[in-house]
Structure 1
């Protein structure tokens, strides 16, 4: 495994990963990282990385600051050792960092209700040691300085120290400022030698101050003298500093004893914090290389979509699509030495090691990686000068070692298989080795420039050719991997591009037999066909995406139109109702006035009153057809809802049918192929089918039961499906349905086409249409019955 890790540049990948750790704890975890061969362990690692990636996506980062490796401090305290102030403050800072990280993860799970079971389990192991943290912080500041408040004794001693220092400086300052003594000093300053205050005195005035000489200048012209006047004060100061040191030592010993009591908990915290730092580093690395979580299997199946080598410049690397272990287990990449083949080989190998290490890999979503028990690689020229081995011998020694161990749970990578010896013998050896590895059930990716292997995959089940595309115009490889197309020699094309005489090229072609020419022409045709197919596929995908976007926009506009239409109808109804009420009030007023006039004896005949009333009734505003429809719907809505009714779900704006009554307030409603439970207040009755005396039972697929509002044809043969559709239409009519759904799926389209043709000819089908966005789309046909 160590050799494979080296040749696939696994350690270089880990160097990139180390850039994302926050502490030496996480860095050590990265150093210890190795691929696992157990799928359960790999799945657990991948799930941890995915949870951390979720946190990074939502929060940007996790709070990992202030954490350091305090393992030596905790172990020394545990055996009774005394810790320094800086070591104790590192312990307090790490305790705080662990407490903050634990709270961060708990909040995301308990309050924000995120699913982070593995991170939460790690965080729960962190013990909150607030008392120890508080004790240290009360005695030591962030710079590792013991505070005066650490103890009353220390405060008193430091006050004495400051008092002695002040007295000494006062006396020395009076000496340095005195005009009579300034001429005796080299400089009018106070300094310190051997932790005692001194003044710089010229050599010739040595006896003028008395006291003690502590030092002299390099030239000997200046002596640093502690004058006799301050010797006593300096002695008192040193005694006070000694007491200060002893008190600080006592305080640190007491704090170390507190740390010793929780040393085991600290060691657990350190391990958990290192693990969490490592997990979040994997998530940050995944974000940096735009990696995703692959599906995993132990069947030797690999499906890499747009895979990129993480060590190459992400702006220059060309993604590759590769599948291995399904229809074929041997992938043979042929073609000239253009550099692209080895990159492909290393991409497959390194991404396999990364996924088995719990790292997300730089591929698109929905990719899949295998967990192999063994990964073997023979890549590059590793000629050993010490052993005096040739290139061929070196490779063959490695291959022999591989063949001794390979089995059905292995991935084998061969670079330039059979190179370094006679081409005919090398190609024959390569074919034999590939056959042997395949027979053992291993997955193999091999590169070669031997033309004899171009036909290998055509003659072997479970093997396929591939090549790295080469652009003859630019004389550079494009690094695009072409699956199913063997590599072809570009020697003639390159020579022509570089200006070699055409006559020489034609003579060279005459030296190649017809069979070789036919193979090259076949490869050229395959390349052209594949490029054409890829181009047409890309165009089709663009058209499909545009169609989906247009369909979504039309659905949105239709919904907005329906809402606006209903609002206008409601507004029109309200205006019409107000006009009716106003007209009636005016009519009644006029009729009352006419009757008063009649009572007063004025000549107003009854027929005049009748004519006036009729005239006013004719003046009453009339409802439009749409307004009448709205009133009719509103009236229906007042009736109780029952199974079989056509209703509108107001919150969705969609029509459907009531299939069952759950209770007085809830009904089961079918909208297209979807059934849902809906509250009565969210339903508007649109229509009620006429009662049919015939019992709504029918035989569908050989069993008697109530007819459903949908028929599922998926999985049926074409002829059987057509018979089922005809029978179902009859049963649905007997059951009193006005609208049903026929689910045929998309598939090849043959079943959908047959259903459409049958429905158009059926005498009891009023209309048919494709399902909407919420009705199954093109996989469902909605049928309206007569």
Structure 2
């Protein structure tokens, strides 16, 4: 890890998270901290994640190289190459059609023309392009030519008849950057050569004297090439020295963008989002999933930690420690704008310091006990500025009764100093002592006694039971020992424990009932919403028909007036007959409208022998529900035969509209949004959900793809605010994975 957070990140189980993140950082030795205005960084990240772009290549740290050119020194070819890669990357970014704050930032980076020229002198492997230096080009061509000549001479010697008995093979061997022949001892009888090396089997790698001059010429050319490259590096370094301030600026700008791009690609890779911390000390987590939780069906945490102290009690292995780690991790990640899996409606305050007291500080080497180590860490917090601290098993290492009294006083002092503290404990006494404190929030881990397992869920305002006896029995301690332990524990303490357990059970039961009523209320609210929409549509149809009738009526009047002006008696009679027909039609429809305009969506009517609910009224037909079966009737026929029984607007029926629909045979319906614009997709999604509700569906699939993540993000944002959506989740890998969302209605 980097930036001095090694221990904290290890204590919070964030090591793997940051190792994964650092694999996306392009700068060698780069870190995750973004200096400067956090709000500005958040806006930049929010805008940048809308676009597709390529990540930069790995770039070494150039701080030392900047110091060299500041003293008019000469940079190595590799250092210059990295500078040109930074310049080339920014030129690439400036050609992308960004908008908003990203575009504004990039357009303010003005790259001098001389620096643009420097950025074009390398190939992708970091070698100088020969067209930029004639001398270097000539030397390189001579090197190639001499190399070929050496190879030809070696091949010629290789096939000399006298040398054949001494050759080990017919290959050329590269040894110490020289092409050689592999021969047996005695070769000097037939060929004069220089021995370069010996093989493991005792053979000799040789270079014939006939190519010694060629080899010398080749080595001279290599030296000449180094000299030419040195002169070119000297020339480029001088140019970079002239633009030293720009080089420093672009190096810093690259570091900044490197941290942005790593966050963006990390978020896309893991389906994370960014949360901007607020200017408060409140923490309200909604569906936060700690990065270390990798099991198949992970349970995210939701917790309201608005007070100064959160005291978590309850069963072993019930998630107390992970909840503590989750609270501190979410706050830490938000502080540095690191992406996470969380509901964007979460509220995370701003904290300058973090402290996690989780491991056992006992050390023989340091001659310190568990309790003494804990006390030393508490004293450090008491002497520091306001801190977000997490203390796991606060009473560890000493007598619980004494510890409860001591830590009650310590926690109260921490509250006075505006520290915010998360505490876990197995012991109820500290929780009971702190329960009357207005700045203490209690949370109890829930244990399912039926399956004898923790649920990893928490009840607010409760003190949890440790379930020590139940756990011991489950893992093989004989029942008679457990019974004896309960007697030793004491009848009064057991009664207190039973009361705590009973209150937790009742609270849990109440929570389930409230959740069920909330779901029913949402469904009822949505049904009423649909009925209001249908009624509004029917009213619009009525107003439209009324307008048409008024126009027809005016037409009839005009025809009558025109007929009165003509002198032709036949034309007068014909016009008056047409007028009478129009008036008769208008009166007939007006009477029907008057008779039936009181029937609206949601009313109960008698139609034939059936009692039906009116689901929808359109221009041509009416949708009815009779005992859960939906059918359609022609508009004219319905209003002739239907008789209203109950109105949806009467006080008697004000409890709600009951709509029964026939459930289709299929268990789900799929909606494919591929290729659609966001606005178009959301409109179709809204109608799709409404249709699914009317069809009685409880589970549907929406396929939006992955792509840039913009469409998927917009769909999920829409689903979060839709009153008919109970919850939604990503589909299984074989059903579309992150490219599909399952919606529960």
TM-score normalized by structure 1?
Answer: 0.62
Counterpart for residue 427 of structure 2: 450
Alignment of 1:397 with 2:376, yes or no, is yes
Moved more, 124-133 or 414-423: 124-133
3-state SS in 2 of match to 1:332? strand
Choose the corresponding residue for 1:536, options 484, 509, 513: 513
Q: Structure 1 CA distance, aligned partners of 2:67 and 2:190? A: 57
Alignment of 1:137 with 2:129, yes or no, is no
Distance change >3 Å, CA 26–CA 125, structure 1 → 2: farther
Q: Structure 2 CA distance, aligned partners of 1:165 and 1:502? A: 88
Q: Structure 2 CA distance, aligned partners of 1:170 and 1:472? A: 86
Distance change >3 Å, CA 573–CA 479, structure 1 → 2: same
Distance change >3 Å, CA 289–CA 467, structure 1 → 2: farther
Q: Structure 1 CA distance, aligned partners of 2:143 and 2:481? A: 100
3-state SS in 2 of match to 1:477? strand
Q: Is the 8 A contact 2:16 2:292 kept in 1?
A: no
Counterpart for residue 430 of structure 1: 407
Counterpart for residue 18 of structure 2: 17
Choose the corresponding residue for 1:128, options 103, 107, 111: 111
Alignment of 1:269 with 2:250, yes or no, is yes
3-state SS in 1 of match to 2:336? coil
Counterpart for residue 719 of structure 2: none
Counterpart for residue 96 of structure 1: 88
Q: Structure 2 CA distance, aligned partners of 1:373 and 1:248? A: 51
Counterpart for residue 98 of structure 2: 108
Shift of 1:531: 1.6
Distance change >3 Å, CA 191–CA 568, structure 1 → 2: same
Q: Is the 8 A contact 1:64 1:97 kept in 2?
A: yes
Distance change >3 Å, CA 199–CA 279, structure 1 → 2: closer
Shift of 1:272: 1.6
Q: Is the 8 A contact 1:123 1:272 kept in 2?
A: no
3-state SS in 1 of match to 2:31? helix
Q: Structure 1 CA distance, aligned partners of 2:456 and 2:177? A: 72
Alignment of 1:226 with 2:208, yes or no, is yes
Shift of 1:345: 2.5
Distance change >3 Å, CA 470–CA 130, structure 1 → 2: farther
Counterpart for residue 279 of structure 1: 260
Deviation per residue, 1:105-163 (Å, 9 max, x gap): xx422xxxx4x3xx56754664425533433534x322233343233333444444555
Distance change >3 Å, CA 508–CA 136, structure 1 → 2: closer
Distance change >3 Å, CA 203–CA 447, structure 1 → 2: closer
Moved more, 481-490 or 11-20: 11-20
Counterpart for residue 296 of structure 1: 278
Structure showing greater Rg: 1
Counterpart for residue 634 of structure 2: none
Shift of 1:96: 0.8
Alignment of 1:624 with 2:586, yes or no, is yes
Shift of 1:273: 1.4
3-state SS in 1 of match to 2:292? coil
Q: Structure 1 CA distance, aligned partners of 2:170 and 2:232? A: 40
Shift of 1:68: 4.7
Q: Is the 8 A contact 2:282 2:348 kept in 1?
A: yes
Counterpart for residue 370 of structure 1: 349
CA RMSD of superposed structures (Å)? 4.7
3-state SS in 2 of match to 1:59? coil
Counterpart for residue 309 of structure 2: 330
- Give the length in aligned residue pairs: 587
Q: Structure 2 CA distance, aligned partners of 1:554 and 1:352? A: 44
| Matching of residues 438-587 of structure 1 within 5 Å | 438-494=415-471, 515-554=492-531, 556-558=533-535, 561=538
3-state SS in 2 of match to 1:385? coil
Q: Is the 8 A contact 1:467 1:481 kept in 2?
A: yes
Counterpart for residue 45 of structure 1: 38
Q: Is the 8 A contact 1:292 1:361 kept in 2?
A: yes
Q: Is the 8 A contact 2:371 2:396 kept in 1?
A: yes
Alignment of 1:247 with 2:228, yes or no, is yes
Deviation per residue, 1:522-554 (Å, 9 max, x gap): 323322332233212222332343244434544
Moved more, 388-397 or 359-368: 359-368
Q: What are structure 1's unaligned runs of at least 5 residues?
A: 595-607, 630-776, 778-786
Q: Structure 2 CA distance, aligned partners of 1:500 and 1:231? A: 87
Q: Structure 1 CA distance, aligned partners of 2:344 and 2:165? A: 86
Distance change >3 Å, CA 475–CA 581, structure 1 → 2: same
| Matching of residues 586-665 of structure 1 within 5 Å | 618=580, 622-625=584-587
Q: Is the 8 A contact 2:315 2:445 kept in 1?
A: no
| Matching of residues 662-677 of structure 1 within 5 Å | none
Q: Is the 8 A contact 1:49 1:279 kept in 2?
A: no
Counterpart for residue 128 of structure 2: 146
Q: Structure 1 CA distance, aligned partners of 2:428 and 2:587? A: 81
| Matching of residues 146-165 of structure 1 within 5 Å | 146-164=128-146
3-state SS in 2 of match to 1:304? strand
Choose the corresponding residue for 1:29, options 28, 31, 41: 31
Alignment of 1:357 with 2:330, yes or no, is no
Q: Structure 1 CA distance, aligned partners of 2:181 and 2:475? A: 86
